[in-house]
Structure 1
Amino acid sequence: MSESSPARTVTEADIVMFAGLSGDFNWLHTDARKAAGSEFGERIAHGLLGISIASGLFTRTALSQSLQGALVAMLGLDCGFEGPIRIGDTLHVDAEVVALRPTTDGTRGIATIERRVINQHGERVQLLTTPMLIWRSLAATQEAPAS
């Protein structure tokens, strides 16, 4: 079952602040004149900015809220950048658990979450797949055992 997040609009300020934070001042993100001549016709957001926004939007889903007490660690991230994220795009995340498997010790499991970043036109612009280590016991969702 897929859960949707609230939506959020990407602003020029988001791109400028992310460039400053990351140190990535690639012209495609920061030079309006040069980017106008690109295949996109304008500046676009950094792919990693899209991932960051998707991460924040995911935390606002019921799925993320249900994992909070059980979450041990994020184990990785597989990303597909499928379309540009433009200034003014309004994004939301559709997320679902696509796989569950126990760890060898049986106390934890790995939940693989697929996050689809969708723009205001209904186009998927990013596909993010994240394996997450979680406690399997329902009791552990209230309080994880001491290590």
Structure 2
Amino acid sequence: MSDTLDTLVNITYDELNEGDTATFTRTLTEDELVLFAAASGDFNPVHLDSEFAAGSMFGERIAHGMWSGSLISAALAMVMPGPGTVYLDQTLSFKRPVKLGDTVTVHLTVLSKAPKNRVIIQCNVLNQNNQKVVTGEAKVIAPTEKSRPYRPDLPKITIAS
């Protein structure tokens, strides 16, 4: 396992600077939507039932708001600051729905550094049309030591029809 694609790299507190940015992108698929419902226990029909969702204010099925929120968590854990980050606090404001097939990008920006390795990070999630779907701020404890752990192999989980 020496391939750099299999290795994660963090950014330590000392390496972070105000204004630093990072991104993380994901596309909402049917499998992701259903797996998120199963993992979270949220079976609201606006997410899972096309007929019900057609009569909603959205007119179609949409992602759970926290699916987008979970992408912020992933961006913090995987990209900046990365492995070893401890999530302390998060504000979220949901601006518009994410629909099946939408590709969203989490944009992280370091706003400030504080004592005890605390970092405040602006979090904006934008869809493929550059429209904000979620905004907020995270407070994390950034790692103090450089780490390069291997990316774990996860099982391929698909939804049976």
Shorter-chain TM-score: which interval? 0.7 to 0.9
* Aligned pair partner of 2:81 in 64, 73, 76: 64
1:42 pairs with 2:60: yes
Are residues 1:74 and 2:92 paired?
no
Deviates more, 1:126-135 or 1:90-99: 126-135
Query: How far apart are residue 95 of structure 1 and its match?
Result: 0.5
2:20·2:109 contact (CA, 8 Å) conserved in 1? Answer: yes
Aligned to 2:13: none
Q: Residues of 1 paired with 2:50 and 2:20: CA distance?
A: 37
Matched residue type, 2:105: H
> Are positions 1:97 and 2:115 aligned together?
no
Q: Which residue number corresponds to residue 55 of structure 1?
A: 73
Three-state SS of the structure 1 residue aligned to 2:104 is strand
Q: Which residue of 1 aligns with 2:6?
A: none
Q: Give the direction of change, closer, same or farther, for the CA distance of 1:57–1:46 in structure 2 (3 Å limit).
A: same
Name the CA shift for 1:2/1:33 in 2 (closer, same or farther; >3 Å). Answer: farther
Equivalent position of 2:131 in the other structure: 123
Separation in 1 of the partners of 2:43 and 2:62? 12
The offset of 1:3, in angstroms, is 2.3
Unaligned stretches of 5+ residues in structure 2:
1-18, 148-161
Aligned match of 1:105? none
> SS of the counterpart of 1:45?
coil
Deviations 1:4-53 (A, max 9, x none): 42422111111111111111100111111010111111010001111112
Q: Contact 2:89/2:139 (CA < 8 Å) preserved in 1? A: yes
Root-mean-square deviation (CA, aligned residues, Å) is 2.1
Sort the Cα spacing of 1:60 and 1:31 in 2 relative to 1 into closer, same or farther, 3 A: same
Higher RCO, 1 or 2 (CA under 8 Å, sep at least 6)?
A: 2
2:120 counterpart letter in structure 1 = T
Cα distance in 1, alignment partners of residues 21 and 123 from structure 2:
9
CA contact (8 A) 1:75 1:132 kept: yes
**How many residue pairs were aligned?**
129
Query: Larger strand proportion, structure 1 or 2?
Result: 1
TM-score after normalising by structure 1: 0.77
Q: Percent identity?
A: 33
The question of 1:19 aligning with 2:37 is answered: yes
Residues 2 and 94 in structure 1, CA contact (< 8 A), matched pair in contact too = no
Q: Structure 2 length as normaliser, TM-score? A: 0.71
1:39-76 Cα shifts (integer Å, max 9, x gaps) = 11101000111111232244453x324xx46x4x2211
